[in-house]
Structure 1
Amino acid sequence: MLTFEHTTLGQRVLFGSGKAAENLAAETARLGAKRVMVIASEFEAEIARKVTAGIEAALWHDEVVMHVPLEVAERARTAATENGIDLIVCVGGGSTTGLAKAVAMTTGIPIVAVPTTYAGSEATNVWGLTEAARKTTGVDDKVLPVTVIYDAELTLSLPVEMSVASGLNGMAHCVDSLWGPRVDPINAALAAEGIRALAAGLPAIKADPSGLKGREQALYGAYLAAVSFASAGSGMHHKICHVLGGTFNLPHAQTHATVLPYVLAFNAPCVPEAEARMAAAFGASTALEGLQELRTRLDAPKALADYGFTAAGIAEAVEVALPVIPGNNPRPVTAENLTALLDAALTGADPATLTDQALLEGAAR
């Protein structure tokens, strides 16, 4: 019998290419905001100026750092409080949204998020902070942006290689949602459609970087991915990548893009129904085959070694990640098979090796 519990997060979404500035002005007026803090990195400053042309900003803040170090968050919180801010507008990728969430978590100031990548953080109530080389994540409804404004034109400045990595980061939300701690049929449906949209959009971006159709599909898919992830919760893939990012300072999107096929190969044999759903979304005979074909077409990130990770870090990564991997993971996780997974991801070895029966038996022992 079909029995489950599902929570849908309340959030307003405004989607339209070329409409970000118009939508932001209208949303700021609707919320009655008088003192707006705009968070945008120096790299995103020009885009942010255009997006916020129709509103008056009381404060601009550009100290955006990957993985949101605690000291960076504290400075942004202080700035918001001292300036009497009543609305945060963040324009940028996951790090920018993450900083806005860090401010909202302690101040309760609402957020309007304007994403320029496919990270998906804008559609979740998940926060992350890094302190002393350890990344901590949690869930708090105060950090969920009240409104997300999607505009595919804002992603045109994102290079193809970063679009690929960011889009595969979004796809990782879909995959993890199919075996997350709170997986349910609604999450699974959203995740499958997210995979389909991203698998259609990312090759279109690579083929025509200046076109909007592929970027609109990728944004749509990234949103679905994040919504499913917010409901299903953080699974094995994200627990591993948070450790790699927080402890070893690896780049967020590229790390997710690299690790994804290894976690998929590791878990897929133990979840045939979810595997079949993913395969259908890819239009392939198996989920791993579909993902790998897509990654080949996209020339996706291949090895953690390319981003500074070394074999010397594997033991520490296993030690930190193993205790936080959810107990409902489809396949039991041991120090032995997690080491094998990270070793394969380090060098870019064929992820199909992780489906070996010997490893499956080793995990069960």
Structure 2
Amino acid sequence: MVSTLRSFAHPGGVHNATPPRIVFGPGRSAGLGDEVERLGARRAMIVTTPGRASMGDRFAAAISDRCVGLLPEAISQVPVELVRRGVQKAAGRGADCLVAIGGGAATGLCKGIAYESGLPIIAIPTTYSGSEMTGFCGMTSEGVKRMHESLAMCPRTVIYDAELSVELPPSTSASSAMNALAHCIDAIYLPSLSPLLAMAAVEGARIVANNLPELLASPRDIGLRNEMLYGAYLSGAALTGGFALQHAVAHMLGGSYGVEHGTAHAVVLPYVTAYLQQYAPQPLGRIADAVGTTDLAGYLWDLAGGAGLPVRLADVGFPAEDLDRAVHIATTADAAPTDPDIHDANRAGNPAPVTDSAVRAVLQAATDGRRPGAKR
């Protein structure tokens, strides 16, 4: 017998909005030219990181006269200066669409350009960041990373092709996978998350967590790569519901201290989870059940450490004497936006507000680096 009547509401706009077209499967990136044409575009600018430039060149050659050039300048944390340069280059080349090839850095730069220009995006992710599924983007200005939101930044098409991720280094695979898990965990307790996408968060966490150890043991297994991309797709969809304390802390580490995005998530995720379990035991319990544990925070610590990722802030170069500054940045970066499209990290939906005491507790635990949760 049901004791309470189900009742919920979640916001529209960019929240819970996913790309309208998904193309998934090994080898599917060969159809990029058709996807550009499907958008009605003829002058695509391909955006990559410097390390993915040769891959970008191959795609540029494949779509031939539909490409107006390569922009191999994307870097982590999406500096606004780079976005402005990208906007100018897209305009100067007469681009009518953007193609992101790579991880969150390439997708993020395309999002920044689209935020200013309105150009449509085709995303071809090669990592598990999940950024390609959302209309959110963290951009860094003057050493502070702030989250922006706009439907203009939500890709029109996403092509998932596991063949492109086979060469991904194990460390990047691991940090990227922890990034995906952070999306599931940081969204599952938000009332702004659609019930439909809450199921994606649970299933995404299960797939990513269960496949990561196997992938690190067999990094060239195309089946495992394919499953990890599927988990990342679900995790990215979950992120469209919003985010909370985990992202406030990780974005501070990345934007202000230069910690690689996936690693920033990995190093604090066990401690954020431990802190929030007292405020959201039931939603986090769904994730715990999915990955097969009764000790989610400790499980994440073991998973990260077992994958060779850092579990202490000192291991990512964070200076302990900067604790007060770090707390201030994490609690204020998005708290009082002047731009209506900047995300409010302190919105009422967070299970625990992003306060000084919350961030300090997490950072202190990450400084100590001890395994949270039940003793082993």
What TM-score do you get using the length of structure 2 for normalisation? 0.88
Gap change, CA 1:205 and 1:2, over 3 Å in 2: same
The letter for the 1-side match of 2:7 is: T
Match of 1:35 among 43, 64, 75: 43
- 1:195 alignment counterpart: 205
- 1:328 alignment counterpart: 349
- 1:265 alignment counterpart: 274
Secondary structure, in 3 states, of the residue corresponding to 2:349?
coil
What is the CA–CA distance in structure 2 between the aligned matches of 1:314 and 1:160, rounded to whole Å?
31
Secondary structure, in 3 states, of the residue corresponding to 1:119?
coil
Q: Alpha-carbon deviations, 1:251-287, whole Å to 9, x = none?
A: 1110111111111000012222112201111111232
Contact 1:177–1:235 (8 Å) recurs in 2: yes
Contact 1:204–1:213 (8 Å) recurs in 2: no
Contact 1:200–1:217 (8 Å) recurs in 2: no
Q: Structure 2 regions of 5+ residues with no counterpart?
A: 11-15, 336-344
- 2:175 alignment counterpart: 165
- 2:257 alignment counterpart: 248
- 1:99 alignment counterpart: 109
What is the CA–CA distance in structure 2 between the aligned matches of 1:183 and 1:93, rounded to whole Å?
24
- 1:66 alignment counterpart: 76
Secondary structure, in 3 states, of the residue corresponding to 2:277?
helix
RMSD (CA atoms): 1.9
> Are 1:300 and 2:309 counterparts?
yes
What is the CA–CA distance in structure 2 between the aligned matches of 1:88 and 1:334, rounded to whole Å?
38
What is the CA–CA distance in structure 1 between the aligned matches of 2:19 and 2:169, rounded to whole Å?
32
Q: Higher relative CO (CA 8 A, sep ≥ 6), structure 1 or 2?
A: 2
Identity %: 37
Q: Alpha-carbon deviations, 1:56-83, whole Å to 9, x = none?
A: 2212111112211111111110010111
Gap change, CA 1:293 and 1:129, over 3 Å in 2: closer
Gap change, CA 1:78 and 1:8, over 3 Å in 2: closer
Gap change, CA 1:140 and 1:26, over 3 Å in 2: same
Shift of 1:34: 1.2
Q: How many pairs align?
A: 352
- 1:25 alignment counterpart: 33
Gap change, CA 1:246 and 1:104, over 3 Å in 2: same
Q: Alpha-carbon deviations, 1:196-221, whole Å to 9, x = none?
A: 11012211211101101221111111
Shift of 1:332: 5.2
What is the CA–CA distance in structure 2 between the aligned matches of 1:15 and 1:51, rounded to whole Å?
17
What is the CA–CA distance in structure 2 between the aligned matches of 1:298 and 1:219, rounded to whole Å?
18
Match of 1:48 among 43, 56, 65: 56
What is the CA–CA distance in structure 2 between the aligned matches of 1:143 and 1:45, rounded to whole Å?
22
Shift of 1:337: 4.2
The letter for the 2-side match of 1:259 is: V
Q: Structure 1 regions of 5+ residues with no counterpart?
A: 356-365
- 1:3 alignment counterpart: 7
Contact 1:276–1:286 (8 Å) recurs in 2: no
**Greater share of helix residues, 1 or 2?**
1
What TM-score do you get using the length of structure 1 for normalisation? 0.91
The letter for the 1-side match of 2:351 is: P
